Structure formats: structure tokens, C-alpha cells
Amino acid sequence: MQDKLNWRDRVLRHAATILGTAGLALLALPAQADWSKLQALQAKKGAQITALAVDLDSGQTLASLHATQRLTPASLTKIVIAAAALETWDVDKTFPTRAVGTGPISDGDLYGNVVVYSEGDATFDHQSLWYLAAQIKQAGVRAIKGSLVINAGPFASLDCETKDRCDAQRRSHTAYDAPLAAFGVDYGTWCVDVLPVQADQPAQIQSCAAVDVPIPLQGSIETQTKRRRTGMWLDRVTLGETEMLSMGGDIPVGAERRLYRSMSDPALGAGLLLRQVLGELGIEVEGAVRVSEDAIPRDGYPLASTDSLPLREQIARMLRYSNNYIADVLTVDLAAERTPEPISTLAAASRGLEDLVQRARQGAGYPAIEPPVLHSGSGLTPENRLSAQDLVAVLRQQYRDTRSFPVFYGGLVVPGEAPHRYLQAGNRDWQDRVALKTGTLSEPHTVFGTAGYLRKRDGGWIAYAALVNGSRTGPVPMRTSLAAIRADVEQLLSRY
């Protein structure tokens, strides 16, 4: 034993003469951190965990815990769709929306239909509606004798596929569960302003486009003085083919609110709003508003055109605010880029994302295994399965793409400047040296994870992913998972 100790002392003394005291201290550190807080969470709560941190300069694994175990990633899936979009298109790529006429214009009357179609603009909003309508007026149209036809292509009619979106076909009190459409407005939602102008009177309800809401309003929201405790609710309800906004409760006078509720049919809803805007500009639509899957008429002539926000801005909004509509519309846009056939399911459109993960794994030198499971780009589908190793491989691929990495990295959240306060807690390293994406689900089991980049003190980079899944019998609260992940990341940053 003494000989062994003397041998170790001689090795350390020799290392000290070469590396100095600081280098010797680094040698004394273990090769890998052990994600100790996540291990404790696994032991206490029975959570399923996958976590990995890799030095992107040396390729060294710095911390690993069940790194190849595939779990439900929730919105961490958006890392994959962001990478796929940036691999496919230039960062300034836009998706146009156009309107064409199908009949002659005489004395301002268009004797035919106006057909609106989009190449999949996920960021088309109520301001874009006004711009499109103004161009139609500028083209000399004062009345449309036919119909306002919304072309569904290139998406066709997509099934709801996720529980949230399927439930929202009947009723929704939120915005994230909107169905997908090539042409939609405000991320497929009814955007309404609640205007409590006068006490003891119902609040005014109007579209964010400054027009009347084109579907029935059921109930009212009463305006009260500020001295009273108030509470209000607003749901979108669909009964058969009738869609309405149902509301109740009260709101303080002067406390204006802007609310978003998902449409049951975003293409039709956007068309109804466009008709309202056209009416405000003095253009009457005599026919119906309808959605069609027919081919765009060959004899159509251009009336109006507008472009989406550039891809760089869509990526930023999708990652920073975890926008599900942008993520899944981009997923279908990617599939439409690969095939001229209409896309019928989001799951089929997501196969290209699975291919990207496999190529990223190969580029990182990870073993060839079966593909991950991805049925959406948003992560709303709980069937999605990714491992920490899958995510780190994609993060590594993006880091090495010098063309698009600034856009990708710029969409991630630095905790110290996060839009949500729960991410801001933590030490200075966590607040300043981390850029991440979060993922959260509550059903059918709890999910919370973060993935992104850590900045080393020497300026180098670490890619990491840490993902916690609960079970039906043992849910893990989001804040519990976040506290464990944050503590382990802080420990890692203290070492590098």
C-alpha cells in the first residue's frame, strides 16, 4: 500500500511541476458530475430522467444520467423543428399569402370569387388582414358578387391528432390548442379586446382587428368599480356548425384585456374576419365565406399579396414563447417542401424531424439505434420520445452550423432575462451563463425539462439536456424538477 501511495504522490508532484497548482486542482476533479439532485429526485419521486452535458470543444462527456433513455420531451421538441427549418431554408425565408380574382371587374364589381391561399404563414395576424384587404380595394374592387373562398392547401384537412386539439374542437378557454391551417390569423385564434368603459354596463367586446366579432357572443362581462373584487371568463364554444364566444363574470372599469381563444376552424375563422375587414373598407361580399380543397383556379389574376415574418423571427417567437402553432405549421411547411402531395397528418409531416435527429446523432459519433418517435414539432403530442443524447446531438449540430447558429441561439432564453419569473431564480451563473428552452406537460403524466447551452468561464461551450417525466401514480411538480435541474447545472457551471 505504501508503494502505491508513494507512486501516486510522485505522479501528482510531477503533474504539479508541469501544470501548476490550478492544473493540478483540475486533475483532482472527477471526470463526470453525477447529476446528484436529479438522482435524488429519481430515488424520492420515482421519476424517469434523462440528462447529459457535453463539452462542445473537446467532445468530452461532463455529466450523464440515463442519457440514452427516451422520454416525453414536450416543448423541447421545438429544438428539433427549429434546427430542421434552419437546415432547409435561408434565415430570411418568408411564406406568402395571396388573393386572386376569378371573374371580370366592371365598375368596381368583381363578377366571380376571391380566392385566398397561403404557403403556410404561421404569423399572419389581424394587421395582415387589413393590408390584404386594402390591396384588394386598391385593385379597384368595390363589391364581390361571388364568394370569399379560402383555399386549404397545401395542408388539406388535418386531423386534430392531439388530445388538447381534439378537445378544443368543442370548447377552448386558451390559445395554445388551435388546429392547424395554411391560412389562419393570430395563430389560429379569436383575438378579442374586452373594453370595460362604463361601470354597471356590459363591457364592449370587439375583435383585435377593430371590427365586430363575426361569430355570436353569448352572455356578457359586467363592468364594476375598482373597489370590488372581480373575475371573468371567456370560452370559445362550438355546437355542431355554430361557433360562438361564451362569457361571464365582471371586470373593473378601465381595465382593458386582450384575450386569445383558439378557433375550431382557423381557415374559416380567418375568412370571416377578412369579410368583416373588407366591409369596413366598403367592399361587400355577396356570397358565402367557405373553405375549399380544390386547386387554385388557373385563370385567377392577382389582387393582393403579403409575406410572413422572416424565418429568423418565427424561430425566435417559437423558442422564446414556445408557440405551438408556429412549430406545427413549420413542421407541415417542411413536409410540403419535400412533396407536392397535400399533407394529411401532422405525424406524417414529422418524419423528417426523426431523420434530422438520426443524422445529428451520426454526426456526433453516437451509436446507430432506432429512430426517435416524433409526431409533432410542437411537442403537444405526448407520444413524442427523445433522449438527452438526441437533444445534445441536435444542439451540437446547430453549434457547428456557423450560418444559422446565431439565429438558433438567439431564440433561447437566458434565465436572468426570462419572460417567466420562475426561471429567474438561481445564482449568477444560472442567470447569466445559461441559454435554454423549456418543455412542460401535465397529462397524461408530468413532464418538465430544459435543454440548451452553458457558457464556460474560458469562453467555451457546453450543450446539455435534462428531462424529467413523472408517472400516472407519481407526478413531479414542475418547480421540483426545475429546482433539481437548476442545482445540478449550477454545480456543473461552478466546475467549468
Model confidence pLDDT, tens digit, residues 347-372: 999 999 999 999 999 999 999 999 99
Q: Percentage of the chain surpassing pLDDT 90?
A: 80
* Same domain as 487, residue 368: yes
* Same domain as 163, residue 224: yes
**Residue-wise pLDDT tens digits, 289-325:** 999 989 899 999 999 999 999 999 999 999 999 999 9
Res 6 pLDDT > 70:
no
Query: What is the DSSP pairing of strand 105-106 with strand 148-151?
Result: unpaired
* Same domain as 335, residue 464: yes
Lowest mean pLDDT among 436-440, 445-449, 473-477: 473-477
Amino acid at 425: A
Do 371 and 358 meet the contact criterion of CB atoms below 8 Å apart? Answer: yes
Average pLDDT, the chain: 91
* Same domain as 371, residue 304: no
* Same domain as 227, residue 126: yes
* Same domain as 126, residue 46: no
- Between CA 495 and CA 347 the distance in angstroms is 41
- C-alpha cell belonging to residue 348: 406524417
* Same domain as 440, residue 319: yes
| Domain presence at residue 11 | no
Res 13 pLDDT > 60:
no
* Same domain as 266, residue 221: yes
Residue 269 belongs to domain spanning: 96-309
* Same domain as 397, residue 295: no
**Interval 271-295 mean pLDDT:** 96
| Domain presence at residue 19 | no
* Number of domains the chain is built from: 2
pLDDT band at 342 (very low <50, low <70, confident <90, very high): confident
Res 203 pLDDT > 90:
yes
| Domain presence at residue 226 | yes
Amino acid at 36: S
| Domain presence at residue 321 | yes
**Interval 381-397 mean pLDDT:** 97
Q: Residue 140's domain is classified under what CATH number?
A: 3.50.80.20
| Domain presence at residue 3 | no
* Same domain as 124, residue 74: no
Res 337 pLDDT > 70:
yes
Do 143 and 283 meet the contact criterion of CB atoms below 8 Å apart? Answer: yes
| Domain presence at residue 28 | no
Res 32 pLDDT > 70:
no
pLDDT at 227: 64
pLDDT band at 341 (very low <50, low <70, confident <90, very high): confident
Residue 58 buriedness (CB in 10 A; 0-12 / 13-18 / 19+): exposed
- C-alpha cell belonging to residue 376: 409533432
| Domain presence at residue 443 | yes
Q: Residue 401's domain is classified under what CATH number?
A: 3.40.710.10
Res 239 pLDDT > 70:
yes
| Domain presence at residue 190 | yes
Res 14 pLDDT > 70:
no
Domain boundary among 293, 309, 325: 309
Q: Percentage of the chain surpassing pLDDT 70?
A: 92
* Same domain as 285, residue 428: no
pLDDT at 161: 80
* Same domain as 319, residue 280: no
**Interval 104-111 mean pLDDT:** 96
pLDDT at 121: 96
**Interval 75-100 mean pLDDT:** 97
pTM, entire model: 0.90
Res 225 pLDDT > 90:
no
Res 125 pLDDT > 50:
yes
Domain boundary among 309, 342, 365: 309
Please list, residue by residue across 424-454, b when 16 or more beta carbons sit within 10 angstroms of its beta carbon and e when fewer do: eebeebbbebbbbbbbbbeeebbbbbbbbbb
pLDDT at 369: 93
Domain boundary among 272, 289, 309: 309
Q: Is the dihedral of CA 280, 283, 289, 290 positive or negative?
A: negative
